Chains A and B, each alone.
Chain A
Amino acid sequence: MKIDVSHAKKIIQRYRKKKGILIPLLQDIQAIYGYVPEETVGLISKELSIYPVDIYGVTTFYTQFHLMPQGKHTIKVCQGTACHVMGGKGILNCISDKLGIKDGETTEDGRFSLERVACLGCCGMAPVVVVDEDFHGNCNFQKIDYLLNQYKSKKEES
C-alpha cells in the first residue's frame, strides 16, 4: 500500500531547526497515519539529517509508537498491579482467545488491535479495559462478551 507523504512533509517543515523534536514529530506523524510508516522515517532522516537508526531507536523504545497499521479499534487491557490482583490477566487471556490474537497483534479483518498496558490510572475500578478512548471498569467475562459484540456491531452500522 502506498501512502501519501505530503502530510508528513508539512509536519516535518514545522519542526525544522528546533531541538529535541523527534518524539513530538513522531507523535504528530502517528496522529495522521495511525502509525509511523517506513516512508516517513526515510523522509525525516533525509530532511532533518537524523540517522534512521536513531528514529527506529526511539520508535521501538517507546511503547506508544507503532510501525504497522493498527486495527479500527484498539483494545488496551490494563496489567497494572491493581488490575493484576483483581484478575486482569484472565481478562487479557479471555479477549486474546476470543479474538484469536496475542497482545501487540491485529485481527486479520483489521477490526481490533490488542495491547497490554501498565496502569491506566483507573485502578479504583480494576480490572480495566479501554477500547479506543472509552474506559470500562470492573470487567468480567460477561462484560467482555458484551463489549466485543458492541464494537463488532458498531462496525457493521458504519
Chain B
Amino acid sequence: MKKLSNPKELEKLRKTIQNRRDPNKPVVTICGGTGCQASGCEHIIETFKKEIIKQSLQEKIDVRITGCHGFCEKGPLVVIYPSKIFYPMVKSKDVSRIISETVVNNKVIEELLYVDPSSGERITYEDDIPFYKKQTRTIFGSNGKIDPKNIEDYIAISGYSALEKVLPSMKPQDVIDEVKKSGLRGRGGGGFRTGQKWESCSKAKGKQKYIICNADEGDPGAYMDRSILEGNSHSVIEGMILGAFAIDSNHGYIYVRAEYPLAVKHFSIALNQARKLGLLGKNILNSGFDFDIKIYQGGGAFVCGESSALIQSIEGNVGEPRAKHIHATERGLWDCPTVINNVETWANIPLIINKGAKWYASIGTEKSKGTKIFSLVGKINNTGLVEVPMGMTIKEIVFDIGGGIPNDKEFKAIQTGGPSGGCIPRSLMDMPIDFDELKRAGSMMGSGGMIVMDEDTCMVDVARYFMEFNLDESCGKCSSCREGNARMLEILEDICVGKGNENSIPLLEELSEYIKETSLCGLGKTAPNPVLTTLKYFKDEYLSHIQKKECPAKVCKPLIFYEINSEDCTGCGMCAKKCPVNAITGEKKKPHTIDKDICTKCGTCIATCKFNAIQVKTGEKK
C-alpha cells in the first residue's frame, strides 16, 4: 500500500479497487464475530478454505470473513454473494455441498435454509428474513459486506469518502454545522446533542485538544459497540478524524474494555492500515491537518464508562468521577478541552457527511434522529443486534423483528438503559422508542440494551439484580451511592427471601429519592431507576412477596418449592440419580417424591426429567 498524498488519489484508489473486483465473482462470506466464534465459525472457515482448494476453485471463489451480522443466535452464518443466499447454523459436513451446489451452480439447498419459526416457511435470501426485513441497517449493514481486517473493503464501499469530501472543501465550522443540523444525539446513554458538544469544545480555549472514543460498553446486555469495532473499525476511525478536524484536535484516544480482545485487535489493525495510506498521521491527504489515535485498554470498571471517570482512568488514576460544573469540553483530559463520544455516535458521522444532514434528519422522530442499534436479548425468539429508525414501537421490535416470546410464554416487560434504566411493561407496548419517550416512561436509552422478560422473570429479583450491580460498581466516592445502594439492596434481598414488611416499599422510595438527589455522577443519580420503575409498573409483584410470601414468577428460591406430579412421573429414577443432595426417593416405576427440607432447588432434576413431571410452586408448602 502506498501513502496517498491527496484526496484525488484516494478516489483513484477506490476506483482501482472497484474495477479490480468482479461483482459477479462468487464470494462466500462467513461471520467471524465473537457470537459466531462461540458457535464454532473458525472451524467452518477452515473447512471452506480447505474444501475450495480440494475442488480447485481458488481462482474462482473468494472467501470473506466479516464482522457480526447481528443474528448471533443462528451462527455460524454464511451468505453467498452475489445471490445473497443465506445459510444459518452451518455445519462442516454441509460445506462441500454448499460450494459445489450453491456457489458453483447457484442452486439453493432447501434443507439448509432458514426456517421462519412463526410461519414455518423456508427463506432463501438474507434480506427476506423477518429479523432483517424491518430493520434499517444504515450503520450496521456494512458489517456483512467487508472484511474488517482489509481497508480496501471499506474503501470499496465508499469508506473514507466523507473525509475526502471534507478535507479539501469544508471548514471545521461547516462540519460542526452539518452535525448540528442532522440532530444527532450521543448514543452512549445521555443523548447529548453531538454538534453542540463539538461546538463548545471548538470554542474552548486551549492549544491542545483531545478526541476520545468511549468503547467501555459496560451496560450489561448491550454489545453493539463491540460489534461495530470488531466488524467495521474504520467507520469509527473516519468519524473520529472528522470530529478531530471539526474541533482542531491532533490527538485521539479510544478507551476499550479489556474484555473485548477481538475489538482491540481489529481496531489496531485498522489504525495501522489507515496510517499506511496516510489517512492518519501527519498532514493527512496533504491538508496540513495532523491526527492520530492511541488505544487505551480499560481495567474492567463499569464506572469508567462515565466520561470524567474515563478521563481519570486514562490519566492513570482510580476511575472516580469528578463534579461536572466544568465540562470536559472545556477542561477534560490533562485539563485540555476534550470531546468524548460513544462508538456508535462516531460511526454515524461519516454517514451524515456523506449523505447530508437533511437526509439524516429525515429518519427518526422529531427530537431523536437517525437509527439506533439495539441488542435484543433475553426471552425472545430471534436474539441479536437490530438497527431500527428511532420511533419504532416496542411491539414492532419485540414481535415483528424479534419474533415474539419463546415457548408460548407471555411477554412481560423490556428492560432498557442498563443499570440506569428501567423496566417498561407490556401495557406500554405501543410506545415509540426514542430518547424522550423512554425517559418519560421512567427508563432511558442507555447504550441500547433491550432485555426481554417473560412471565417467568421476577421483577423484584430484577430490581435486586441491578441494585447488586450498581453497588458492586459504585466507586465509593459519594456516601449516598455507596451506603444508600447497600441499604436498598438489603431491603430488596429481604423482600426476595420473604422477610419484607409494610415499611419496605416506603423505605425504598425514600432512599431512592435521596440517592438520586445527592450523588455526583450518573451512576448514583440513576441507580434507583430499576427499583422505581418496577415499583411503578409491577407493584403487585412486590406486594405478593411481602404480604403473601409468594413469588409469582417462581424465581425467588426461599419462596418456592419443587414437587413431583405423580401423574406424569414414570418412576424412571433419573432425577433421583442426578440429585446432588439426594432429596428424591421412590420405588422403581412408581412416582417419586422430593423431600422439601433437603431440596436446594438447584434445578438439576428439572433439567433431567424427560416427562416434565417436576413442578415449581410458590406459597405455603403442603
Stretch at the interface among A5-13, A137-145, A146-154: A137-145
How far, in whole Å, are A123 and B297 apart by their CA atoms in the complex? 21
17 residue pairs of the A-B complex, CB under 8 angstroms, read A58-B299, A62-B299, A81-B221, A81-B378, A81-B449, A84-B220, A84-B462, A85-B462, A86-B379, A118-B469, A119-B223, A121-B34, A122-B72, A123-B449, A123-B451, A124-B375, A124-B383
**Interface contact A61-B319, CB-CB below 8 Å:** yes
B289 at the interface (CB under 8 A from A): no
User: Within A58-94, which residues are at the interface with B (CB < 8 Å)?
Assistant: 58, 61-65, 79-87, 90, 93-94
Q: Which residues of A contact B378 (CB under 8 A)?
A: 81-82, 85-86, 126
Q: A63-B301, A64-B258 are in contact. Are A80 and B73 (CB under 8 A)?
A: no
Q: A61-B301, A118-B302 are in contact. Are A124 and B35 (CB under 8 A)?
A: yes
Chain A interface size band reads 35 or more
A157 at the interface (CB under 8 A from B): no
User: Within A105-158, which residues are at the interface with B (CB < 8 Å)?
Assistant: 117-126, 128, 133, 135-137, 140-142
**Interface contact A119-B219, CB-CB below 8 Å:** yes
**Interface contact A142-B38, CB-CB below 8 Å:** no
**Interface contact A117-B259, CB-CB below 8 Å:** yes
**Interface contact B38-A128, CB-CB below 8 Å:** yes
B125 at the interface (CB under 8 A from A): no
B602 at the interface (CB under 8 A from A): yes
**Interface contact B316-A22, CB-CB below 8 Å:** yes
Contact of B418 among A20, A63, A81, A121 (CB under 8 A): A81
Contact of A81 among B319, B384, B415, B607 (CB under 8 A): B415
Chain A residue nearest to B452 in the complex (CB): A85
Q: Which residues of A contact B379 (CB under 8 A)?
A: 85-86
**Interface contact A90-B603, CB-CB below 8 Å:** yes
Q: Which residues of B contact A27 (CB under 8 A)?
A: 258, 297, 299
**Interface contact A57-B318, CB-CB below 8 Å:** yes
Convert B275-296 into 0s and 1s, putting 1 for each residue whose CB lies closer than 8 angstroms to a CB of A: 0000000000000000000001
Distance (whole angstroms) from the CB of A121 to the closest CB of chain B? 4
Distance (whole angstroms) from the CB of B490 to the closest CB of chain A? 19
B580 at the interface (CB under 8 A from A): yes
**Interface contact A135-B38, CB-CB below 8 Å:** yes
Q: What total of chain B residues lie within 8 Å of the partner, measured CB to CB? A: 60
Distance (whole angstroms) from the CB of B614 to the closest CB of chain A? 14
**Interface contact B220-A141, CB-CB below 8 Å:** no
Q: Which residues of B contact A20 (CB under 8 A)?
A: 314-316
Q: Which residues of B contact A137 (CB under 8 A)?
A: 35, 38-39
**Interface contact A124-B72, CB-CB below 8 Å:** yes
A97 at the interface (CB under 8 A from B): yes
**Interface contact B259-A121, CB-CB below 8 Å:** yes
A32 at the interface (CB under 8 A from B): no
A16 at the interface (CB under 8 A from B): no
How far, in whole Å, are A119 and B466 apart by their CA atoms in the complex? 13
B313 at the interface (CB under 8 A from A): yes
**Interface contact B603-A121, CB-CB below 8 Å:** no
Q: Which residues of A contact B318 (CB under 8 A)?
A: 57-58, 61
How far, in whole Å, are A133 and B42 apart by their CA atoms in the complex? 14
User: Within B360-379, which residues are at the interface with A (CB < 8 Å)?
Assistant: 375, 377-379
A19 at the interface (CB under 8 A from B): yes
**Interface contact A136-B38, CB-CB below 8 Å:** yes
Distance (whole angstroms) from the CB of B214 to the closest CB of chain A? 15
Q: Which residues of B contact A85 (CB under 8 A)?
A: 378-379, 451, 453, 457, 462
Chain A residue nearest to B257 in the complex (CB): A121
Q: Which residues of B contact A80 (CB under 8 A)?
A: 220-221
B522 at the interface (CB under 8 A from A): no
User: Within B460-487, which residues are at the interface with A (CB < 8 Å)?
Assistant: 462, 465-466, 469, 472-473, 475
Chain A residue nearest to B296 in the complex (CB): A24
Distance (whole angstroms) from the CB of A94 to the closest CB of chain B? 7
Q: Which residues of A contact B466 (CB under 8 A)?
A: 81
B317 at the interface (CB under 8 A from A): yes
Chain A residue nearest to B530 in the complex (CB): A81
